[in-house]
Amino acid sequence: MLATSYPALAASNLENKISRLEHLLSVAPLTIYSRSPFSPFSITFISKSVKELTGFEADDFLNLPNLWIDNVHPEDVEQIYSNLHHVLLGEPIIQKYRFKMKNGEWKWLRERLKLVKDRATDKPLEIVGGWTDMSELIHAENALIQSQEKIQRLAHYDSLTNLPNRVLITERIEQAIHFSDRENWNFSLLFLDLDDFKIVNDSLGHHYGDALLQQVAARLQKNLRTVDTAGRLGGDEFVVILSNTNANGAANVARKIINSLKEPFNVDDKVLSIQTSIGISVYPENGRDSHTLTRHADIAMYQAKSAGRGQHCFFNIKMNAILEHRLAMERDLRVAISENQFLLHYQPQIDLASRKIVGVEALIRWHHPLRGLVSPVDFIPIAEDADLINTIGEWVLKQACEDIKAWEKAGFSGFKVAVNLSLRQLQAEQLFEKVSTILKQTGVDGSRLELELTESVMMENHAATVDFMTQCKDLGIHFSIDDFGTGYSSLSYLTKLPLLDILKIDRSFVQEISPHNDANTIVSAIVNMAKSLRLNVIAEGVETLEQLNYLQECGCDTVQGFYFSCPVNFEILTQQLTQQFTEN
Ligand code: C2E
Ligand code: MG
Ligand code: MG
């Protein structure tokens, strides 16, 4: 026991009291003594268990009056002084703080303190308290707090990019609405979608996809002010909330983001390039709640994508109807697949020298139960976006091969059947396996088949396309480049595609053909160039004799168009073939 300068309690009394306390509370009691409420406190007595807990002896405290407070963690000292002040005013307290043990180890202590007064004089005598080692409990508590924080993070942040997730984005939009109402501001919501992210994911794997998303998230944040929020909704969809920003400001930021994300990304050994489409809604004009604002920005993003990608687009009310139509078509397309509402029409391709059908192009038609015949121009893009084109494309190929076989059985075989392939089909895995299986199953020779690719299909996926073409060539399949002149129009690019057989001049050039028109020069230039590359030329959309004559003069081999025949069904084409056969 340490001596106190106060007329202390009898030592034996105190020890008794403390050991009783120790026993009762199973704590390590100590006595703190203070000369005045404002002076440093020193320990005047410690029990056995305090010695065991701290490693300090009673003498240590005696020799160094400030030892106790000096060993309290600096961050906790202020709280202790304030609490002791309350104790001296008669209020018992319980406090927690970190205390450095004699061996240097920090421990969390829980301390109960109470003022003891001299009964006779009612003056403060000492402060009596007890320590409990709380380290384990506090660690467990900290771990609990951490795991609660972790749960909070998981609930509010996207684990891949660390950006706010849908839940937190919604909260932030609601906050933005609140601030904007209070301050009479606008704010803007950007809905971003990476164009063709799926290609990266599907062709290179999730590792590259994930790494790309992380880099996109980082780049996105670099383009924003601290008051703005960037979040990830999932997949390749991001949202940006631009606080206090009107339409002009939003357009500037959207352009900045699009340009910044256009710069190539380095992921491991690969350099990846993507584009971004952004839809924008502005508060309050385009919606008064977070759900409407997000939905409208999403709709505008869709418009940006269909306008050509790598662009931004503002929401306007007409878009709602467009989207609803699109969603209805998508729903109906799924039904069309399961109920087989498709059919194939064939458009003859006429050889200009012999005027015979040397090929036909298979063109899909959709017999919608309510809308009637729907043009592929209207539903192929929707099928592509909704990931339905592979199923539909496979059906087309199979149907075309079955029809080839049926014609062969009827004795018609001297013509090729061209089938259009969409970019998504080439991006999907195992297209070659699908093509070769269909040929095998239907018993059709590859040389009867021609596959039509567009310039953009070839450009976007050059290496994979060349691989696919090489494999198909072994089966005798021919390839044509469709709608030539409307895509990248890089004539020199054609030289990089030695596996091409046919070039199809797009209808837009053919329809411009008239005396003294520039389009004529373009058509003859395309024909000449194709010839120099030893490609056959088919002119699409030939409707008049004038066009036909001009094309013949230019050296074009084959024509396809309403002048000879519009696309017709299997039976009518069979009649046309029969007619040709009987003329021979
Ligand atoms: P495309 O491959 O360029 O097909 C030629 C389009 O031009 C066809 O339109 C055809 O009906 C039309 N056409 C032919 N001759 C004339 C003419 O003299 N004048 C005019 N004004 N048009 C003519 P269609 O059948 O509506 O097909 C449009 C596009 O849809 C096709 O363009 C093709 O890109 C796509 N498509 C059609 N069937 C399929 C398919 O099975 N798979 C895929 N992926 N796309 C297809
Ligand atoms: Mg075509
Ligand atoms: Mg075409």
Model confidence pLDDT, tens digit, residues 72-128: 999 998 888 888 778 878 888 888 899 999 999 998 888 888 888 878 888 777 788
3-state secondary structure at position 531: helix
Å from CA of 363 to ligand 1 middle? 6
Q: Which pLDDT score is estimated for 8?
A: 30
* CB-CB contact of 141 with 36 (8 Å): no
Give, using CA atoms, the residue closest to atom 38 of ligand 1: 363
**Beta-carbon neighbour count of residue 84 at 10 Å?**
21
Q: Which pLDDT score is estimated for 488?
A: 52
CATH of domain 157-316: 3.30.70.270
Domain residue limits, the chain: 2-139, 157-316, 340-583
From the CA of 562, give the closest atom in ligand 1.
18
From the CA of 375, give the closest atom in ligand 1.
26
**Beta-carbon neighbour count of residue 72 at 10 Å?**
18
Q: Which residues line ligand 1 (CB under 6 A)?
A: 347, 363-364, 375-377, 380, 393, 396, 420, 422, 452, 482-483, 507, 540-543, 560-562, 567
3-state secondary structure at position 227: coil
CATH topology of domain 2-139: Beta-Lactamase (3.30.450)
Q: Which pLDDT score is estimated for 41?
A: 58
pTM for this predicted structure: 0.60
CATH topology of domain 340-583: TIM Barrel (3.20.20)
Give, using CA atoms, the residue closest to atom 4 of ligand 1: 363
3-state secondary structure at position 64: coil
From the CA of 347, give the closest atom in ligand 1.
14
Q: Which pLDDT score is estimated for 313?
A: 95
Nearest to 503 by CA among 552, 472, 540: 540
Q: Is the dihedral of CA 97, 101, 104, 106 positive or negative?
A: negative
What does the angle CA 219 – CA 221 – CA 225 come to, to the nearest 5 degrees? Answer: 135
Residues at Cβ < 5 Å from ligand 2 ion: 420, 452, 482
Å from CA of 274 to ligand 1 middle? 29
CA pair distance 282, 280, nearest whole angstrom: 7
Q: Which pLDDT score is estimated for 27?
A: 43
Please choose from 337, 373, 403, 420 the residue to mutate so as to test ligand 1's pocket, defined by most ligand atoms within 8 A of CB: 420
CA pair distance 510, 507, nearest whole angstrom: 5
Give, using CA atoms, the residue closest to atom 43 of ligand 1: 420
Q: Where are the beta strands (DSSP E) in 463-575?
A: 478-484, 502-505, 536-539, 558-559
Ligand number nearest CA of 451 is 2
Ligand number nearest CA of 384 is 1
Å from CA of 200 to ligand 2 middle? 27
Give, using CA atoms, the residue closest to atom 17 of ligand 1: 541
CA pair distance 148, 543, nearest whole angstrom: 72
Q: List per-block mean pLDDT (blocks of 10 residues) for the chain, which spans 584 residues.
A: 28 44 43 42 72 85 79 88 80 89 90 83 78 78 74 82 93 94 94 88 86 96 93 94 95 96 92 93 94 93 87 89 86 96 97 96 95 92 90 97 97 96 87 97 97 81 86 96 72 74 91 76 85 92 94 95 97 95 74
What distances in angstroms separate CA 504 from CA 33, 483, 510, 557, one per listed residue?
Answer: 100, 6, 11, 10
Give, using CA atoms, the residue closest to atom 21 of ligand 1: 541
